[in-house]
């Protein structure tokens, strides 16, 4: 009995297996064909959405509490002026005038004060008797860059003593270094440091050294400018306010032996 049952089941199993395999190999109608519209572009493909390329409402306006670099510079006659760091100076013109930051004078000193742009104009007007002197350290002059054509005579040097920061020591030969290069009677000297602090005593020293007071000038803002004081600014604490570099005036990393600190070349 069992044998007859098994013999009856085997053919049925074979039939079912054959049916399943056939179904698996059978391709449904339309198999491999591309659906209607396949490869076509959807309506509006490649078109610009309404308002594409336009400026969002409030674009370019100053965010509440934010100042400078996406902030503001004090401008003569203007209460505030929003702009973008990295923009060319030529783009930062005002109606009826030019980009003209108001720089603070950081101390009393002998000699006068000029903005970076005024200093540049003075040099271009009288290049044979007007000279820009970078009084920063060797490291600053070389690694941070310096104005094109700037002579290097440090007011201070970095020392080897370190606390939280390396200290600085006064260049005792500053007066001699100036007189070795420039004429005290005829030359106009424009002194520049990082942010117009070291040039306060350096300007007084130049006058005391024998240069005429009306021919000695402190360059306001220095090379790097002042720090952003607005705590809500993403640039808080960084030197991004004014200065030679941010005013778009020519500067370089190139070291010209004719301009480098002369005692180092002996």
Instruction: Give me the chain's average pLDDT, please.
Output: 77
More confident call, 178 vs 229: 178
Q: Are 110 and 213 in contact (CB under 8 A)?
A: yes
Tell me the pLDDT band of 35, cut-offs 50, 70 and 90: low
pLDDT at 49 over 70: no
Q: Which domains does the chain have, with CATH numbers?
A: 103-265 (3.40.250.10)
Counting Cα atoms < 13 Å in the Cβ hemisphere of 44 gives 3
Residues of the chain with pLDDT > 90: what percent? 54
Record the pTM. Answer: 0.64
Distance of alpha carbon 240 from alpha carbon 247, whole angstroms? 10
pLDDT at 234 over 80: yes
pLDDT at 42 over 90: no
Helix ranges, the chain (H): 2-25, 116-125, 138-143, 174-181, 199-208
C-alpha distance across the termini of the chain, in Å: 119
Tokens representing 80?
A: 């505030």
Q: Helix or strand or coil: residue 219?
A: strand
pLDDT in tens, 97-154: 455 677 999 999 999 999 999 999 999 999 999 999 999 999 999 999 999 999 999 9
pLDDT for 102 equals: 78
Q: Are 234 and 70 in contact (CB under 8 A)?
A: yes
Q: Which of 100, 114, 101 is nearest to 219 (CA)?
A: 114
pLDDT for 92 equals: 42
Average pLDDT over residues 192-202: 97
Q: Helix or strand or coil: residue 118?
A: helix
More confident call, 77 vs 59: 59
Distance of alpha carbon 255 from alpha carbon 143, whole angstroms? 10
Tell me the pLDDT band of 69, cut-offs 50, 70 and 90: very low
pLDDT for 40 equals: 58
Tokens representing 30?
A: 């339309």
Q: Are 184 and 82 in contact (CB under 8 A)?
A: no
Average pLDDT over residues 24-42: 56
Q: What angle do CA 141, 147, 149 make, to 5 degrees?
A: 100
């Amino acid at each position: 009995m069992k044998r007859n049952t098994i013999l009856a089941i085997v053919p049925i199993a074979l039939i079912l297996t054959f049916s399943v395999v056939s179904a698996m190999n059978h391709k449904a109608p339309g198999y491999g064909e591309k659906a209607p519209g396949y490869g076509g572009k959807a309506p509006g493909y490649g078109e610009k959405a309404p308002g594409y390329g336009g400026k969002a409402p409030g674009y370019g306006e100053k965010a509440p509490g934010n100042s400078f670099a996406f902030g503001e510079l004090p401008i003569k006659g203007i209460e505030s002026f929003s702009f973008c760091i990295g923009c060319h100076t030529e783009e930062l013109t005002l109606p009826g005038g030019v980009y003209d930051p108001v720089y603070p004078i950081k101390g009393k000193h002998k000699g006068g004060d000029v903005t970076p742009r005024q200093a540049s104009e003075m040099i271009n007007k009288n290049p044979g008797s007007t000279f820009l002197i970078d009084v920063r350290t060797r490291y600053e002059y070389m690694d941070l860059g310096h104005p094109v054509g700037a002579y290097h005579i440090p007011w201070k040097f970095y020392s080897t003593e370190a606390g939280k920061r390396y200290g600085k020591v006064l260049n005792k030969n500053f007066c001699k270094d100036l007189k070795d290069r420039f004429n005290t009677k005829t030359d106009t000297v424009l002194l520049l440091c990082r942010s117009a602090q070291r040039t306060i005593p350096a300007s007084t020293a130049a006058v005391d050294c024998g240069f005429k007071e009306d021919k000695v000038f402190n360059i306001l803002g220095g090379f790097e400018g002042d720090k952003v004081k607005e705590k809500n600014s993403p640039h808080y604490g960084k030197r991004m306010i004014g200065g030679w570099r941010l005013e778009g005036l020519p500067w370089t990393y190139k070291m010209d032996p004719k301009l480098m600190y002369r005692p180092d070349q002996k």
